[in-house]
Structure 1
Amino acid sequence: MTPFNDSTTDESSRIDPDLDAPWTYATAAARRLGVPDDIEQRLLYPTHRQRITVLFERDDGSHGVCEGYRVRHDGVRGPYMGPHRYDPALTGNDCAGLAAATTISAAIADVPFGGAAGGIAVDPSTLSRSERVSLTRSYAARITGLGADGDVLVPDVGTDERTMARVADAVSNRVDGPQNAAVAGKPPALGGHREITRAAGYSVAHVTQDILETDHDRPLSDATVAVYGTGHIGATAARLLEFWGGTVIAMCSDEAGLTAPESENGLDTDLVPSYLERPGALSSYDDGTTTGTQNVLERDVDVLVLADPVTAVTAENADAMRAEIVVEGATGSMTPGGQSVLEDRDVTVVPDVLATTGRPIAAHLEWIGSVGRDRMSDARVTNEFGYALTDAVEDVRDRRESCSLSWREAAYSVGLSRVAAAHEVVR
């Protein structure tokens, strides 16, 4: 393997995700729409915040203590729903930003959910399996308001379908309605759907292809792609974009990257994520060139997908981006200043609230089955998911074209107008 840039000397662009950004965009959208003052104030502040102490038992018999959070932004359109993450840097304000973004995304998807977000300030990689179980159950025991008609958790950074299963079991004796409906993204054995866990990544890939082919008149089969992030979203989006005909020529984790040789057809998206998650294994990968993360961001490609939950693009480095389309696959991966620089250069920026709309769509489809309203096969779930996602993109596109807005402005305009309209009818 030939080194392209010494990843040990590359200055990573990784910083804490800019989770205040949704408030900036929501405020601008509210002013643009002329939302009445009382409704605007309601939308610009969370409805409810919880901060708790999460006590859990360690394997040696001692006890650990972490901070836990759950923030509910707005529930006028239906039960709260949103991500549950484990991240050592997590704060209540982070959860508030995620909750606001989820409210907008659910409204764009036109599903009857409000937005919420929460989690625990912990690094799950430092915990054993039994410690994670104890931590999850302790959190579920102390957070109030969970339930099918209250607040529905979905997996996010540091959590997975097993986490959701443990939460559902832990709250079984104190929630109204089916306990399994208190979470989405659970294992199929508990009523989950196989497609749900990769819904956000599928959504990112679908929206990318739709905008590339419809708005840029370029078939995916002729496009090159770089993917920043190798978690569930990045890995799924990369595999699907390759499967549908795109050429993924660069990928990176937050520590190292790989690029495809110029003469080759692209990276093997089935293998690369596993190597990038273990940087020490990169020396044994022979079909790519090691590089630093910044080189992946700056690669000359048609599409750059930002799929890592960190801020990768800022006003300071946005000028170096050479992609024609930048897709924000994780909330906070781009600052408002970074977006402004890109849009001044006529780069298309697809916002997270549209790119990841698949998550609330998938959560709603699973929730419908869990509360007993309908029994859907995996095939039907897949079809319904695809139709809803296509409709969401089309709604934002129509608003963008009719009002001469950017993709982000149009997405927030669609989402916020639907939430504001719901508030209008219940005043």
Structure 2
Amino acid sequence: MRAFEATQIFFNAAADHLSIEPSLRETLLMPSREVQVQVTIERDDGSLGNYVGFRVQHNNSRGPMKGGLRYHPQVDLDEVRALASLMTWKTAVVDLPYGGAKGGIGVDPSKMSKREIERLTRAFVDQIHDIVGPDTDIPAPDMGTDHQVMSWFRNQWEKYHGFNPAVITGKPVEEYGARGREEATGRGVGALTVKLTKRLGLKPEAAKTAIQGFGNVGTHAAKFLQEAQFPIIAVSDLTGTYYDPNGLNISEVLRHKLNHPKGLLEGYPHCDCLPVDALMSLPDVKVLIPAALGGVITAKNVDGIQASIIVEAANGPIDPEADAVLQKKGVTILPDILANAGGVTVSYFEWVQNRQHYRWTLDRVRQELDHTMSEAFEHVWQTAQQNNVSLRIAAYMIGIKRVRRAAELAGLAS
């Protein structure tokens, strides 16, 4: 199933509960703008590299559009379109004054030099600089990009439009970035996992957790949960699943990852190494956190999942068919549009600081993040209880209602 089709299914399920008529559904689902560009650069060996870049701007009813910039071989228009729509509902669920957007380039950055990635970023900015900006569409890091890419993006954009660091978020702290931005998504995932398990009556020491994907989000979520006394019994990356039924020493795992030349878990000695896909079906896992690519839980592997709680740290990790199976099994799923909203929340804080020319402390960033995420969680939880729906449908209902209300107030819908 295509990514945007899956998003539409979840949207329509929530829209049914809100009795939204078909014409308004089409208005809310249809992206405002889709841009596809050819990005050509000179490779280090003198050859030309040709890549396809995308920027989809979904909805600006609630404010400037906001969304990450992804460098990955699987990036295509359908994926970017789906992720842009998810950003619209995500920013609305946590009540940020933003709409949704997303961008990306179909490229494998692991096969490029640093200078090639810089040239690629600047060439992409040359193509889209006139449709992004601090009052229209504000990019941020995503899979395959980081604070360095954001710095190059900002520098190239400012060559056309002049100084304005609010054009992009996720920048280095030394260049108007926000303290705590790098940890934000993982911290939010960890904090809401703690809140959810507490609501369900599961004590931390009994909440054996597995994290699929040990990149930026997975590592920060693992650190937060270990401090909260959650046993992290398995983590995985592309090299395998690293499993200890008594709980991994996350500090040791992180040291190994930092010392690995490619930042991988490969060769970690203090546990069992299993195949990559083994993590999904480990029998003693209570909390499963998919924190990598979307579409990893499907009809093909859903029957093997033993976890009773799934926290979607990745975007769209569960397809609708698998979601239906999990709901029937009684699995509680914390949806992506709430669970991983910590990143865009701190991006908003960074944008606010840039506009005010004032920097917050790390303690204030964390305090504001925890407050925002906690408030959103409570609203979603209460909506789910009151309407007897899943947390996913409740989150979509909140997001859709807020976007619809903004559109109505602006005279764009009735």
TM-score (norm 1): 0.91
TM superposition shift of 1:329: 1.1
Q: Secondary structure at the match of 1:270?
A: helix
Q: State yes or no: 1:267 paired with 2:252.
A: no
Per-residue CA deviation, residues 361-408 of structure 1 (Å, 9 max, x unaligned), is 111100001112754222211111110010110110111011111010
What's 1:234 paired with? 218
Paired residues of 1:327 and 1:349 also in contact (CA < 8 A) = yes
Residues 288-297 or 274-283, more deviating: 274-283
Structure 1: how far apart are the matches of 2:4 and 2:335?
13
Matching residue within 302, 316, 329 for 2:286: 302
What's 2:148 paired with? 162
Q: RMSD of aligned C-alpha atoms?
A: 2.0
Structure 2: how far apart are the matches of 1:283 and 1:255?
6
Per-residue CA deviation, residues 258-283 of structure 1 (Å, 9 max, x unaligned), is 110x4x4x112234367578899878
TM superposition shift of 1:37: 4.1
Aligned length: 407
Q: Amino acid of the residue matched to residue 21 of structure 1?
A: A
Residues 220-229 or 85-94, more deviating: 220-229
Q: Secondary structure at the match of 2:131?
A: coil
Q: State yes or no: 1:171 paired with 2:162.
A: no
Paired residues of 1:255 and 1:279 also in contact (CA < 8 A) = no
Per-residue CA deviation, residues 169-218 of structure 1 (Å, 9 max, x unaligned), is 10003347x5211111110011112311121111111111111112x112
Structure 1 gaps, min length 5:
1-15
Paired residues of 2:60 and 2:98 also in contact (CA < 8 A) = yes
Structure 1: how far apart are the matches of 2:327 and 2:104?
33
- 1:283/1:317 CA distance change after superposition, 3 Å: closer
Q: Secondary structure at the match of 1:186?
A: coil
Matching residue within 359, 378, 381 for 1:394: 378
What's 1:314 paired with? 298
Paired residues of 2:239 and 2:266 also in contact (CA < 8 A) = no
- 1:375/1:252 CA distance change after superposition, 3 Å: closer
TM-score (norm 2): 0.93
Matching residue within 170, 183, 199 for 1:198: 183
Q: Secondary structure at the match of 2:288?
A: strand
Structure 2: how far apart are the matches of 1:68 and 1:37?
32
Q: How does 1:17-166 map to 2 (within 5 A)?
A: 18=3, 20-143=5-128, 144-166=130-152
TM superposition shift of 1:73: 0.5
What's 2:362 paired with? 378
Per-residue CA deviation, residues 132-159 of structure 1 (Å, 9 max, x unaligned), is 1100000011113111001101100000
Q: State yes or no: 1:408 paired with 2:397.
A: no
Structure 2: how far apart are the matches of 1:69 and 1:314?
26
Structure 1: how far apart are the matches of 2:27 and 2:254?
42
Paired residues of 2:32 and 2:57 also in contact (CA < 8 A) = yes
What's 1:7 paired with? none
- 1:284/1:100 CA distance change after superposition, 3 Å: closer
Q: Secondary structure at the match of 1:397?
A: helix
**Sequence identity of aligned pairs in percent?**
31
Matching residue within 231, 236, 241 for 1:252: 236
Q: State yes or no: 1:362 paired with 2:346.
A: yes
Matching residue within 278, 284, 289 for 2:272: 289
Structure 1: how far apart are the matches of 2:375 and 2:235?
30
Paired residues of 1:154 and 1:185 also in contact (CA < 8 A) = yes
Paired residues of 2:179 and 2:361 also in contact (CA < 8 A) = no
- 1:278/1:340 CA distance change after superposition, 3 Å: farther
Structure 1: how far apart are the matches of 2:251 and 2:61?
41
Structure 2 gaps, min length 5:
none
Structure 2: how far apart are the matches of 1:25 and 1:280?
35
Paired residues of 1:171 and 1:179 also in contact (CA < 8 A) = no
